[in-house]
């Protein structure tokens, strides 16, 4: 690649990395292209070469989060049944939320920049949801209303996963006098209950 | 009550009401005793008569949210079985979250002021959780490990409820190409799945 293009690419990636740092330090409300430029010690105008606005930079960061998250779910171990596959996916979901709290909050706890202007963000977010939706379409194969049931179950499962990922962070949790055993078993118990809730394996 | 006390009481209540307005306008980060005083057109020192710090005012507001929320759950219709009772509670939970978004976010989406200094906040928060925990202890009556199972199921159910309340607000929801039928049925479907997940009614 010509050196000029390599430099341009570096600046774009550097902006994304610096924006992550700004968000980690000051929250998403604190993100501005000016701060990103200051962190990189480049001119105030430099980030505009790649991002027409602060919202475009934020949308690009969110898009990458959804992409990374979907890949993380896709890397679950192979399974020989839809139930086992969903259990693997659930484990990966909670692992991702626990190990990437900033990215997780950006995806699901942050108001989006105007989505109509950021179709790539929408595309990658829908793709992440489709990982779950497709596993459920496989589970409900043969049902007349399989797309509808798959969507409903996807919302049920996503709710439970997102809820578990969120309440384990909630301040109230540490005051509920839950035993260590309960706290440790909570996610596995939820996965067990969910497998009872879903239609049994076809044998 | 002597007039002097009545005035004091009014100021305390007025501070709480004004703080709600400040939080609604600027978020919880924007809350300060100075802004509350300005809104009430009283001296900067006046709110300190009732609240030693901004965090004490915030803790009092959160405590009231948990109290109101627990009362809202307690006002569910009477039920003749634990399963029906949980279904009623789930409905009330989602109704509260939808109709009181600010209060809901304060309880479950906001870092708490240092809890050790606000024991009343902790007490009311635990009480709200106990509404769910007690219903589950009734369901699991007779089990040797009923307290443990009740706690585990309480975390499962709370996760699902909190997740559903949260994802319906998430920006990604509107882009998932879910049919109106699915969106409308999502909560009822989740409640149905959860009743399948729990031990069947004893007859």
Closest-CA residue of B relative to A115 is: B171
For chain A, the domain total comes to: 1
Does a structural domain hold residue B122?
Answer: yes
pLDDT at B172: 87
Same domain, B74 and B134: yes
pLDDT value at residue B200:
86
Residue A161 maps to a domain: yes
pTM: 0.91
Query: CB contacts < 8 Å between A and B, how many?
Result: 139
CATH number of the domain to which B171 belongs: 1.10.357
Summarised one tens digit per residue, pLDDT across range A115-145 is 888 999 999 999 999 999 999 999 999 989 9
Does B18 share its domain with B97? no
Return the pLDDT at A9: 61
Residue of A nearest to B187 (CA): A156
Residue (of A196, A182, A198) closest to B133 by Cα position: A182
Judgement on whether residues B100 and B31 belong to the same structural domain of the protein? no
pLDDT at A203: 61
User: Are residues B70 and B43 part of one domain?
Assistant: no
Q: Which residues of A touch B181 (CB under 8 A)?
A: 148
Residue A7: predicted pLDDT: 58
Same domain, yes or no, for B80 and B36? no
CB A61 within 8 A of CB A107: no
> By percentage, how much of chain A surpasses pLDDT 70?
95
- The CATH number of the domain holding residue B43 is 1.10.10
Residues of B whose CB is below 8 A from A188 = none
Are residue B94 and residue B165 in the same domain, yes or no?
yes
Q: Is residue B29 part of a domain?
A: yes
Q: Among residues B91, B190, B90, B192, which one has the least CA distance to residue A151?
A: B190
* For testing contact with chain B, the best of A30, A134, A163, A180 (most B CBs within 10 A): A163
SS3 A168: coil
Is residue A117 one of the residues assigned to a domain? Answer: yes
State the pLDDT at residue B100.
96
For every one of its 203 residues, what pLDDT tens digit does chain A have, with 9 covering 90 and above?
A: 455 555 566 999 999 999 999 999 998 988 999 999 999 999 999 999 999 999 999 999 999 999 999 999 999 999 999 999 999 999 999 999 999 999 999 999 888 998 888 999 999 999 999 999 999 999 999 989 999 999 999 999 999 999 999 998 888 898 999 999 999 999 999 999 999 999 887 76
Residue B202 lies in a domain: no
Burial class (CB in 10 A: 0-12, 13-18, 19+), B25: exposed
- Check whether residue B69 and residue B33 sit in a common domain: no
Are residues B120 and B188 located together in one domain of the fold? yes
Same domain, B1 and B100: no
B83 within a domain of the structure (yes/no): yes
Residue A93 belongs to what domain range?
A: 81-197
B125 and B37 in a common domain: no
Do the Cβ atoms of B154 and B129 come closer than 8 Å? yes
Query: How far, rounded to the nearest angstrom, does the alpha carbon of residue B10 sit from its chain's CA centroid?
Result: 25
* Long-range CB pairs of A185-188, under 8 A, 24+ apart, other chains included: A185/B152, A186/B152, A186/B155, A186/B156, A187/A90, A187/A91, A187/A94
Chain B interface residues (partner A, CB cutoff 8 A): 107-109, 111-112, 115, 122, 125-126, 129, 148, 151-153, 155-156, 158-164, 166-167, 170-172, 174-179, 181-182, 185-186, 189-190, 193-194, 196-198
Do B19 and B88 sit in the same domain of this protein? no
Instruction: Say what the ipTM of the complex is.
Output: 0.90
The 3 state secondary structure assigned to chain B is CCHHHHHHHHHHHHHHHHHHHHHHHHCHHHCCHHHHHHHHCCCCCHHHHCCCCHHHHHHHHHHHHHHHHHHHHHCCCCCCCHHHHHHHHHHHHHHHHHHCHHHHHHHHCCCCCCHHHCHHHHHHHHHHHHHHHHHHHHHCCCCCCHHHHHHHHHHHHHHHHHHHHHHCCCHHHHHCCCCHHHHHHHHHHHHHHHHHHCCCCCC
User: Is B203 part of any domain?
Assistant: no
* pLDDT at res. A156: 97
Flag whether B60 is in a domain. no
- Residues in chain B where the model's pLDDT stays below 50: 1
* Nearest CA distance, B196 vs chain A (angstrom): 5
3-state secondary structure of A80: coil
Q: Determine what percent of chain A is predicted with pLDDT higher than 90.
A: 80
Same domain, residue pair B119 and B38 = no
**pLDDT for residue B50:** 94
């Amino acid at each position: 690649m010509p050196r000029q293009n390599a430099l341009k690419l570096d600046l774009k990636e550097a902006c994304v990395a610096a924006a992550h740092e700004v968000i980690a330090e000051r929250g998403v409300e604190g993100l501005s292209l000016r701060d990103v430029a200051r962190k990189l010690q480049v001119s105030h105008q430099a980030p505009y070469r790649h991002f027409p606005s602060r919202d475009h930079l934020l949308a690009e960061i969110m898009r990458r989060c959804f992409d990374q998250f979907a890949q993380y779910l896709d890397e679950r171990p192979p399974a020989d049944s839809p139930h086992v596959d969903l259990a693997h996916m659930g484990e990966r979901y909670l692992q991702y939320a626990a190990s990437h709290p900033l990215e997780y909050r950006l995806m699901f706890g942050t108001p989006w920049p105007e989505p109509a202007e950021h179709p790539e963000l929408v595309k990658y977010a829908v793709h992440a949801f489709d990982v779950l939706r497709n596993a459920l379409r496989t589970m409900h194969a043969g049902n007349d209303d399989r797309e509808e049931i798959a969507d409903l179950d996807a919302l049920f499962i996503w709710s439970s996963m997102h809820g578990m990922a969120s309440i384990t962070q909630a301040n109230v949790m540490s005051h509920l006098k839950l035993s260590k055993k309960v706290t440790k078993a909570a996610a596995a118990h939820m996965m067990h209950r969910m497998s009872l809730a879903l239609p049994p394996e076809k044998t």
